[in-house]
Chains A and B, each alone.
Chain A
Amino acid sequence: MATEVLHAPPAPELSRNRTLLVGTAFAAVASIMVFVGLFAVYIAVRQNNEFLVEKGLGGSLWFPEGAVQIAPGTMMLFSTWISAFSISWAVQAIRNDDRRNAYAALFLTILMGAAIINQMAFAIADFGLPVDRSTPAFFLYTIYGSYIIFMAIAVAFVLLMAIRAIAGQFNSQNADGIQAAAIYWYATVIVYLPVWYLITITK
């Protein structure tokens, strides 16, 4: 009997529900859809404006010359990419039980998030168009403002998970919290791409 037990196959690993990962994925999709809604209306109104300008029926130059600078927007794009790298680094580090690297990566991610918020606030201050007299300015302020809130939520999420990691939670067996924060962070990176293209590039 004892021999049979010794030669029995190992017990199957208990499946762990991935509640936080799944829930965060749903929340990330919902957050992305808010921006899909914002972009869709922006594009439609802008196309109508171009149509009106072409036909000589009215409309206005969408962003006046020099109002939107390419440098701040592109800097923010690079910042989001760096943060995508750093949050991936945090996930890999925690899955390898490398806590020192995980803390460093989480700190860098939070720092990049704060930098993006700062850059966006700077871009808004530097924009120069009064919000109360311009349709393009209305859209820019709304989209940038919404993105700042989105990024602030992501920063708070990563910060919460970083505090939990420092308190001893998460390891190679259970990295759900960090992975969930990473999923939400990737959503902010994905959303910034169309923000950059629609406002900084196509102006």
Chain B
Amino acid sequence: MTATDTHTDIDVADQVSANVPSSDGLYRLVASNDHKMVGRLWIGASMLLLLAATVLGVVSNIERVSLDSIDVFGDVSTYFQSWALLRTAAIFMVVVPMFIGIAMVIVPLQVGSASIAFPRLAAASFWSWLAASGIHIASFLADGGLGPAAGTNDEGTLLSIVSLGLMILSILAASVCIATTVIALRPAGMTLLRVPAFSWSMLVATSVWLFSLPVLLANLIYAYVDLQGREPIAFGNPDRLWSSVEWAWSQPQVYAYAIPVLGILADVVPVTAKQRQANRSVIFSFIGLFGVLSFGAWAQHALSRGADPVFADANYIYDEFLYIAFGLAAVLPILAVLGGVADTIRRGSVPKPGGALIGALVGTLLLLGAVVAGALRVIPAWDALHEQNELLSSSTAQLSLVLAATMAAAIGALVFWSPKIFGGYAAEPLAMLAVVAVLLGGLMAGVADMVSAFLGQPDISLVPVSESAVETMNLLVVIGMALLAIGALAAIGSVATAASSDEQLPDDPWDGQTLEWATPSPPPVGNFIEPLEVVTSAEPLIDEFEEVS
């Protein structure tokens, strides 16, 4: 009975009905390998960590409002630790796990599978990720960290490296489960082109993660070995540790974590417009292209200038043609997907603006904003600024925009699929409040950090810059982060409403087009009550409706 079992058999715990005593309920929570339960665990944990991360974002940025003193954290080292923790939390505790959670519930339903591939591995990936996240946070409390000059305690830094590595391994394991489900567990007739857009985007996203995150793991291996009982050469040196892994939080890799945003939009719009998506192959190609352009493992400083300090003034990756070209080209696929769904809206009925549609649209527009912010590197003024500072706060701006984009899209996805994920409707007013707060917060934080970058604010230090306007911009970032925290809180409230609902829901409340809407809400163990018919198009439920009528 290992993860390599080819059977997708269901754990006995999953056979327990909904009306179980609370002790059985807890057992079911911990021991289940049902993909819906595991997905809910991923979603719940990442939403709580999202709230914590946005609060940390507020506190961390308050420190930058006044650049000439350390008021909140007491010393620079502690500030750097929170700075690095905010970044690792945003990507590996919030953004990626959120999409993994939604995918773990929805992808098997969309591809007509009774279970996710390797259900035990899927469950193990969640628990190991949760443990690693806890250890990672604890490592920062033990004076560890990945930030520049952060880890004042070598053992704490080692713990940070190991826990981040374990988080990545867990995410890779979950990615294998999701990608394998899309490739191997489709029903008869469902070609890859007939796979729903969200499942396709998850296949692209998990593939990019499987290609790029192991490279980050390699960087961490070097850092770990470098710190073992010797004077670090470069990789494990606390002053250089961040620069050896920084590529994973920068353009273009930072886009890779947001690939599913495009899939959510391309799934939600046709349903709300009650129209088949035209030119699916084109949309799918552009989502794939976005995935290719977001592969960022090559954009490492070490590969551009080496790790030796002698090369510190030469050839930053930022100045290289390929880096700038990838940044510019990434705008194209997002515009293409937006154009594709706009055409669907034009041909269909006017969609009712709800949390799902608005969330997906806002998410995509914020993602476009993040990519455009990266494309601004073509402006000649950047060269002069980069000569003064290696990292400008534009990287933080992009990270804030990507975080906001994924938050908005995830809220949209959770509202849209809440009958399948939670068995109830998410609270629309709270969801709309969350999306608006995320839109305003993301824009405020992202634009303010971009303006600060043009004023010469470094990304990773508290060095005072000549422009006093920077402090005003930093105040706007604090307000933006506070709005993101409010958005997170509202999103949790909206989802909690769905999870606590006892209402009997119809199988297909939105007139859906794809197979997840052919299951009861919430789906039972095994997902599909009757055997599926051969799929003949990308919208099997519309086909069925047309046959009947």
Contact = CB atoms under 8 A, between A and B. Distances in A.
Contacts of B305: 48
Contacts of B2: 160
Contacts of A37: 214-219, 297
Contacts of A36: 214-215, 218, 297
Given A19-B117, A20-B6, A47 B306 contact: yes
19 contacts: A17-B6, A19-B117, A19-B180, A19-B185, A22-B179, A22-B180, A22-B183, A23-B117, A23-B118, A23-B180, A36-B215, A36-B218, A37-B219, A40-B303, A44-B306, A132-B229, A138-B225, A145-B225, A161-B4
Given A41-B307, A133-B230, 15 more contacts: A21-B184, A22-B184, A23-B118, A23-B184, A30-B176, A38-B222, A44-B307, A45-B302, A48-B306, A48-B307, A132-B229, A157-B4, A160-B4, A176-B6, A177-B4
Interface in B201-239: 207, 210-219, 221-222, 225-226, 229-231, 233, 235
A132 B218 contact: no
B175 interface: yes
B156 to A, nearest CB: 21
A67 to B, nearest CB: 18
A101 interface: no
A52 interface: yes
B4 A34 contact: no
Contacts of A161: 4
Interface string B323-339: 00000000000000000
A146 interface: yes
Nearest to A33: B214
Interface of B, secondary structure class, is helix
Contacts of A47: 306
B323 to A, nearest CB: 15
B4 A180 contact: yes
A26 interface: yes
Contacts of B152: none
A165 to B, nearest CB: 13
Contact of A33 (B175, B215, B300, B310): B215
A26 B184 CA distance: 12
A41 B4 contact: no
B172 interface: yes
Interface string B159-180: 0000000000000100111011
Nearest to A135: B233
Interface string B53-74: 0000000000000000000000
A49 interface: yes
A196 interface: no
Nearest to A15: B188
Given A19-B185, A26-B180, A41-B302, A142 B221 contact: yes
Contacts, number: 127
B464 to A, nearest CB: 34
Nearest to A131: B230
A123 B222 CA distance: 20
B303 A41 contact: yes
B231 A29 contact: no
Contacts of B175: 26
Contacts of A49: 308
Interface of A: 15, 17-23, 26-27, 29-38, 40-41, 44-45, 47-49, 52, 57-58, 131-133, 135, 138, 141-142, 145-146, 157, 160-161, 176-177, 180
Interface string B3-15: 0101010000000
Contacts of B230: 131-133
A58 B309 CA distance: 12
Interface in B231-257: 231, 233, 235
A187 to B, nearest CB: 12
A15 B190 CA distance: 13
Contact of B226 (A18, A57, A138): A138
B184 A33 contact: no
Contacts of A33: 210-212, 214-215, 218, 297
B177 to A, nearest CB: 8
Contacts of A145: 225
Contacts of B176: 23, 26-27, 30
Interface in B464-488: none
A106 to B, nearest CB: 15
B6 to A, nearest CB: 5
Contacts of B218: 33-38, 41, 146
Nearest to B185: A17
Interface in B344-359: none
A22 B175 CA distance: 12
A26 B210 contact: yes
A19 B215 CA distance: 25
B311 interface: yes
Contacts of A20: 4, 6
B214 A31 contact: yes
B310 A58 contact: yes
A53 to B, nearest CB: 12
